[in-house]
A and B are shown apart, each in its own frame.
Chain A
Amino acid sequence: DAGITQSPRHKVTETGTPVTLRCHQTENHRYMYWYRQDPGHGLRLIHYSYGVKDTDKGEVSDGYSVSRSKTEDFLLTLESATSSQTSVYFCAISEARQLEAFFGQGTRLTVV
């Protein structure tokens, strides 16, 4: 399995608080992605990165920001969590765009 670790694996937070999820890879892959998965919606792309300090928005980016200061780390931040952001968040990495992507185990976030 690809070396990709998400932390934390589970988190419960209150509405209005900031939350940061971390994705760490040991594969030195250039591309990194954050998805959220909700019942009935499959996986939806939030943000992606194509290099250090190079990021762009996906289809559901509102309310989320990302940062990538090192190749191995891709952070997803919810500046002010809302109940609609309760979801399972997956990080993925790939060596080349849109080719085989490797997914992390996911982070289950609950906003109460």
Chain B
Amino acid sequence: LAKTTQPISMDSYEGQEVNITCSHNNIATNDYITWYQQFPSQGPRFIIQGYKTKVTNEVASLFIPADRKSSTLSLPRVSLSDTAVYYCLVGDPGGFKTIFGAGTRLFVKA
């Protein structure tokens, strides 16, 4: 199973772009990369998923280099409400063993 490594915490200010990088050196050919967001006392919420290159939705962008050994979640112009824990997951869409790591705790300051 591909293990992921993320920074434990990050600080930012409102209006800035935040990039959270996740390392997954052992990613398998069939694995996809998925990011979730979790607020205190709530369940995780899906943000974005990708396989290679770049994926963008209304919330974030996901950048995946050609070797797929890392990925970067980009949050444009963060606000205080983006303070949360962000999880990077790597897993095979055909399997059930995706692993949640410890996540990155993002603090957005005014």
Contact = CB atoms under 8 A, between A and B. Distances in A.
Interface residues of A, number: 27
A100 B45 CA distance: 9
B13 interface: no
B92 A98 contact: yes
Given A98-B32, A98-B91, A105-B43, A58 B96 contact: yes
A102 B37 CA distance: 12
A48 interface: yes
Contact of A98 (B43, B44, B94, B100): B94
Contacts, number: 59
Nearest to A104: B43
Interface of A: 31, 33, 35, 40-45, 48, 50, 56, 58-59, 90, 92, 96-106
**Most chain A C-beta atoms within 10 Å of own C-beta, residue among B42, B45, B87, B96:** B96
A97 B96 contact: yes
